[in-house]
Amino acid sequence: MNSRHVVFLVAGLVAVTQAAAPPFFGLVADSGGRLHAPLGHYPRWAPPGPEDICSAIRARQPAAAIPALSCPPSPERRPQLVARVNLIRLSSESAGAILAALAGAFVARRVRVSPRQ
C-alpha cells in the first residue's frame, strides 16, 4: 500500500466519522430561528436531548432574551427544543477534509521515499 492509498484511507475514515457523528445545533422552534446554539458532535443514533439544548441556549443567550426558558425545561416546553444537524458546518468540515486529502495526495506524490539498502 503506497502513501496515497493511506491518505485516501484516512480521508475515508474521516468521512465515515463525520457521517456517523455530525455537528448538531439546537433551537427553540417557536422563536422563529432566533434562539439557537451549537451543540457539538453527537452520534446520529443518540442526538442531544432537550436538557443539552436548553443549557447551550442559556449559556449563549442573555437571560432577558429568553425569560420563559428554564433549565431543565418544563414538560410543555420540551417539544419546542429541537436538535438539527448543522449542515453548513458539516459541509465546511467535509470540504476541509477533502482539501486535506488532496493536499496529502499531492505531497505523497511529490515526496519519494528512497528504498532501504
pTM of the model: 0.73
Q: Are 81 and 92 part of one and the same domain?
A: no
Place of cell 425545561: 73
pLDDT in tens, 18-75: 888 999 998 888 777 777 889 999 998 999 988 888 888 888 876 656 666 667 777 8
Which residue range(s) make up the domain with 34?
A: 24-85
Could you give the number of structural domains in the chain? 2
Q: Residue 89: how many CA atoms within 13 Å on its side-chain side?
A: 14
The per-residue pLDDT for range 1-33, each reduced to its tens digit, is 666 677 778 778 888 888 889 999 988 887 777
The answer on 55 and 70 residing in a single domain is yes
Report how far Cα 10 is from the mean position of its chain's Cα atoms.
Answer: 18
Residue 116 and residue 100 share a domain: yes
> Which residues fall within 8 angstroms of residue 56, CB to CB, at 6 or more apart?
26, 37, 38, 39
